[in-house]
Structure 1
Amino acid sequence: MENEQVLSSLLGEVKGAIIHGYADAKVKNIILDSRRVLPGSLFVALRGTQVDGHQFIHTAAELGATAILCEELPESVREDVTYVQVEDSAAAMGLIAAAFYGHPSKKVKLVGVTGTNGKTSVATFLFQLFRALGYRCGLLSTVQNQIEDEVIPSTHTTPDAVALNALLAQMAARNCSHVFMEVSSHSVAQHRITGLHFAGGIFTNITHDHLDFHKTFDNYIKAKKGFFDALPKSAFALINIDDRRGNVMVQNTKARVETYSLQTLATFKGKIISDTLAGMHMEINNQEVWFRVIGRFNAYNLLAVYGAAVLLGEQEEAVLTELSNLKSPPGRFEQFHSADHIVGIVDYAHTPDALENVLETITHLRQGNEQVITVVGCGGNRDAEKRPKMAEIACRYSNRVILTSDNPRFEDPMDILDQMRKGVPALDYKKTTVIEDRHEAILKAGLEAEPGDIILIAGKGHENYQDVKGVKHHFDDKEVLMEVFAKRAGN
């Protein structure tokens, strides 16, 4: 999707840009990695958490970059290169990328979903719903990016601004009318969504997460709120008012504020009538509906989806009819059943709140003396505060707990597990086991379970790898669970 454009035409919305060189220089592509620079590239010098792109300005110029976007000029400048000096390279890049690809977010109805938990489910449900209603749609999520049936693998919750606008341009070119995307706190703080035009924004909830990046909970809240601050007057802001920070999110928004709730009066009000492993019976705005997805957390997700669809102009009855057929996204409370009636649940729950939501749902669904066996770990090089909390929550709701490795990344898995173990109450030592090897941990849970028991494998969900020292090894919780079930059946 490369095209040649005049540099000055890309800077229209960038305030305070100082051009050193030729404003009419021709730009063929926008590059963040100096190793990928080609003649005609605009190289963006970003100050990252690990590396400062300003160190590679000279390399980019040597490789033929036509222009350099930077916050500080290098000591020596080349006459054959145009330097664009800005206050914030990341923010300017968002605006430039949008202009380079012809403002694709204005050619579709783009809806962003933000919050700690539920982003993937809400975005995926909206994608499935609008396709069922007859629209051509795009999806940008943690699990995958998708244009209609074509799946484009995902590496971040939100791609960088250049990749994001390129994807949106593809979606617009393929006549997508609606695009649904997860908006992470990182993407707001790092200006990955700067320059995008949203038709609506959805807030699910907020709990402690990503403090490794944001440092304080207050910074995390500000990042989420920043998304709503930037929404245009023409957009809607749909918030969960059962979350005490729901109203905080929209204090400074120009968008039209609407609400959803299970507990109080709201634009979109829901009530759970019954909830079983087979499905959930709900009342939404005085209409009774049966859904395939289950759990209180999904009741909130469904309300968000229903509300957004109505705010996008869809008929209430048609929306509820299609919603009743939806299935959970991969790795989100995904159920598997063994031949001898063991229920295996694979879920992405990797925050204390998400784990508690899932385990509360399982507790609510139990009908007799079923044992709940939880296999859980915590990722390395991430917020360490949540590790003992995750273990404590697992112990509180489970009959047996196996603490195991998740994605250790560059940390020692046993160090992570030692931190988790500190959250295990003294009375729960006996029912808690530590097994570093995740395959072995799932195997133990599966082979020791009795018919009727429920096994929760939490933390990785849809992921099909384990990240160890920068290398992603193939690992899929669902595959291991199926292996266990086959062994139990004697296959």
Structure 2
Amino acid sequence: MTASPAPDAREAERAFRPRAARATSVGDLAAAAAERGVRCDVAGTASARVTGVCMDSRAALPGDLYAAVPGANRHGADFSAQAAAAGATAILTDAGGLDRARSAGLPVLVVDSVRDAVGELAALVYGTDDAAPRLFGVTGTNGKTTTTYFIRSLLRALGETTGLIGTIEIVAGDTRIPSVLTTPEAPQLHALLARMRESGVGAAAMEVSSHSIDYRRVAGLRFAVSGFTNLTQDHLDLHGGMDEYFHAKARLFEAGRSRRAVVTVDDAWGRRMAAASGAETWTLATADAPDEGSADWRVRGIGADGLGHRFELHGPDGAILRARTGLPGLFNVSNAALAVLMVHAGGAGLGDLQAALDAADPLTVSVPGRMQVVCERPAGIVDFAHNPDALERAIDAVRGAHPDARVIVVFGATGQRDATKRPVMGAVAARRADVVIVTDDDPHDEEPAGIRAAVLRGAADAIAAEGLSSTVVEEHPRARAIAAAAAIARPEDTVLVAGRGHEVWQEVRGVNLPLDDRVELRDALAARGFATIADPSDSAAGGARE
């Protein structure tokens, strides 16, 4: 059992940076920041030149503006000397950090809030704006990753050089950069966009989490098009309640941040998001919409096509787009429809879009750990579903047509996260699946048995109250639970391993243990003599969850 390797901080930071550095004087930077509404005072010489921005003193590179952010226990200004020794040429801090920053002997830019200011200053240093590359941002509880993969695939089918910023990987042109968070810090994002521009990237698709909005990681970015998938219970440990969670997401659609928006209005949260949007907004009703008549665009004519579906998008003035996705589940029809409309809102004409959809089948792109099939008979599927709504949709999506087919689901709940969803997920699994195997997800520093007990309690309560016939068992560790599912699977059954998707490390009490659900499920089914599907992308990327 070994921990995942941690990259050198400076090496990881350098991976985001453009090859050619622009130099900006501290004085010019302060003046330009003021024009953007950021009050910025200079303490010390204004002639020092800045070529980059960094928020981690351990990762500072020569020429950097070190952004010293106040923390819960220490102020970032305490590490100013370390940043200076690494070659930083100036420090950005607030009034509370000014004296400590000055002790490093570098000029200091003083702002009211470092987190509020650092994105705009990074945009100035790296010369990023909303023109190159065009940014397509996707937010919502579920579907962000798949939608960004669809967008990127469709843009490539239209002949664009593309980028991708997300949970699984970051891609700048043909270069892959390991993803540490769903969204990197603001200075890294601006550096990355400058690097993409150097590589000729014309458009990039990006996941935008509520964390990234709350923590100002997307500050200073201007999105050509932003899209909204859905809003269901998740991350309430951070936001406190659904209203707060909604307002975090809604900030992506402010007029100064997004030029256009495409909002899925399948429920009250989507309709509320469309009403709150300050951008030019198109509304989309998809497979689950109870009243599609009021939406600008509507999904119609859904029909099964292999594991996936064909569908039509009907819009204003009789416009129709015909598309298909090979990914299972009606929720992937919703994700695909959103991707198509976002690319259209970004400037692609209807004729060009239809030609690309017909010629390249771009909405059948493989997304690691998202409805990923590792065996066809029995169906062995790995998905990232880690909240009640996603779990319900995933189980429904994989249920086979054979009258004797069973769905066997293996899942757990994450430690040190929203505990209220644990019994809810147990109840969902008991209602939707035939066999439920409750195991561990990422316990983090929490006792795994307590997490499992909460999930099991929800399942047991639902069975008792509703007279359900599902079987619920507890098995751990996770690899043994997956093997147990494979051991009882018949050819007509489906085994769904949910919750971790593409992740290749399981965190238990501060130690990252190697664990890939795709590999475990494939090996367990192969050991029983079933023919499995190899995928070279397995274990290639294991980004962190937010």
1:261 lines up with 2:280 in the alignment = no
CA RMSD of aligned residues (A): 2.4
8 Å CA contact retained: 1:45, 1:70? yes
8 Å CA contact retained: 1:185, 1:224? yes
Cα deviation, residue 50, structure 1: 6.9
8 Å CA contact retained: 2:153, 2:362? no
Q: Counterparts of 2:255 and 2:510 in 1: how far apart (Å)?
A: 35
Q: Counterparts of 1:297 and 1:283 in 2: how far apart (Å)?
A: 15
- Structure 2, gaps ≥5 residues long: 1-17, 315-319, 532-546
Structure 1 counterpart of 2:48, one-letter code:
A
Choose which of 64, 72, 78 in structure 1 pairs with 2:103: 78
Cα deviation, residue 45, structure 1: 1.4
Q: Which has the higher contact order (CA 8 A, sep 6+)?
A: 2
Choose which of 365, 369, 385 in structure 1 pairs with 2:420: 385
1:320 lines up with 2:357 in the alignment = yes
TM-score, normalisation: structure 2: 0.84
1:469 lines up with 2:491 in the alignment = no
1:447 lines up with 2:471 in the alignment = no
8 Å CA contact retained: 1:391, 1:420? yes
Q: Counterparts of 2:72 and 2:415 in 1: how far apart (Å)?
A: 17
Cα deviation, residue 326, structure 1: 2.1
Q: Counterparts of 1:289 and 1:429 in 2: how far apart (Å)?
A: 38
Cα deviation, residue 300, structure 1: 0.7
Structure 2 counterpart of 1:318, one-letter code:
A
What is residue 404 of structure 1 aligned with on the other side?
439
Choose which of 140, 152, 172 in structure 2 pairs with 1:115: 140
Q: Counterparts of 1:398 and 1:206 in 2: how far apart (Å)?
A: 23
Structure 2 counterpart of 1:10, one-letter code:
L
Cα deviation, residue 155, structure 1: 1.2
Q: Counterparts of 1:63 and 1:325 in 2: how far apart (Å)?
A: 46
What is residue 93 of structure 1 aligned with on the other side?
118
What is residue 226 of structure 2 aligned with on the other side?
201
Q: Percent identity?
A: 35
Choose which of 179, 188, 191 in structure 1 pairs with 2:216: 191
Q: Counterparts of 1:281 and 1:79 in 2: how far apart (Å)?
A: 62
Q: Counterparts of 2:132 and 2:321 in 1: how far apart (Å)?
A: 34
Cα deviation, residue 438, structure 1: 0.5
What is residue 4 of structure 2 aligned with on the other side?
none
1:240 lines up with 2:255 in the alignment = no
Deviates more, 1:259-268 or 1:347-356: 259-268
Choose which of 343, 346, 366 in structure 1 pairs with 2:379: 343
What is residue 50 of structure 2 aligned with on the other side?
27
8 Å CA contact retained: 1:271, 1:282? yes
SS of 1:35 mapped into structure 2: helix
8 Å CA contact retained: 1:225, 1:248? no
Cα deviation, residue 325, structure 1: 5.4
Q: Counterparts of 1:74 and 1:37 in 2: how far apart (Å)?
A: 19
Deviates more, 1:54-63 or 1:101-110: 54-63
8 Å CA contact retained: 1:404, 1:417? yes
Cα deviation, residue 137, structure 1: 0.5
1:229 lines up with 2:263 in the alignment = no
Change (3 A) 1:444 1:4: same
After TM superposition, the structure 1 = structure 2 runs for residues 27-426 of structure 1, keeping only pairs within 5 Å, are 27-37=50-60, 40-48=63-71, 52-57=75-80, 59-60=82-83, 65-71=88-94, 72-75=96-99, 77-78=102-103, 80-103=105-128, 105-231=130-256, 235-262=259-286, 263=289, 264-265=292-293, 266-275=295-304, 278-285=307-314, 286=320, 288-316=322-350, 317-321=354-358, 322-323=360-361, 326-337=364-375, 341-363=377-399, 365-426=400-461
SS of 2:513 mapped into structure 1: strand
SS of 1:270 mapped into structure 2: strand
Q: Counterparts of 1:39 and 1:179 in 2: how far apart (Å)?
A: 28
Change (3 A) 1:277 1:396: farther
Deviates more, 1:418-427 or 1:90-99: 418-427
Structure 2 counterpart of 1:27, one-letter code:
V
Q: Counterparts of 2:24 and 2:162 in 1: how far apart (Å)?
A: 28
8 Å CA contact retained: 1:21, 1:79? no
Cα deviation, residue 291, structure 1: 3.0
SS of 1:422 mapped into structure 2: helix
Deviates more, 1:123-132 or 1:141-150: 141-150
Q: Counterparts of 2:453 and 2:165 in 1: how far apart (Å)?
A: 36
Change (3 A) 1:64 1:146: closer
Deviates more, 1:47-56 or 1:461-470: 47-56
Change (3 A) 1:430 1:236: closer
Cα deviation, residue 301, structure 1: 0.6
TM-score, normalisation: structure 1: 0.92
- Structure 1, gaps ≥5 residues long: none
1:487 lines up with 2:507 in the alignment = no
Change (3 A) 1:289 1:5: closer
Structure 2 counterpart of 1:283, one-letter code:
E
Q: Counterparts of 1:328 and 1:281 in 2: how far apart (Å)?
A: 17
8 Å CA contact retained: 1:225, 1:250? no
- Residues 445-477 of structure 1: per-residue CA shift (max 9 Å, x gap): 001111200011000111122122333222111
Q: Counterparts of 1:153 and 1:481 in 2: how far apart (Å)?
A: 24
Q: Counterparts of 1:38 and 1:132 in 2: how far apart (Å)?
A: 38
8 Å CA contact retained: 1:69, 1:89? yes
SS of 1:293 mapped into structure 2: coil
Q: Counterparts of 1:60 and 1:147 in 2: how far apart (Å)?
A: 27
What is residue 13 of structure 1 aligned with on the other side?
33
- Residues 61-109 of structure 1: per-residue CA shift (max 9 Å, x gap): 5666432211223446338322222121012110111111111543221
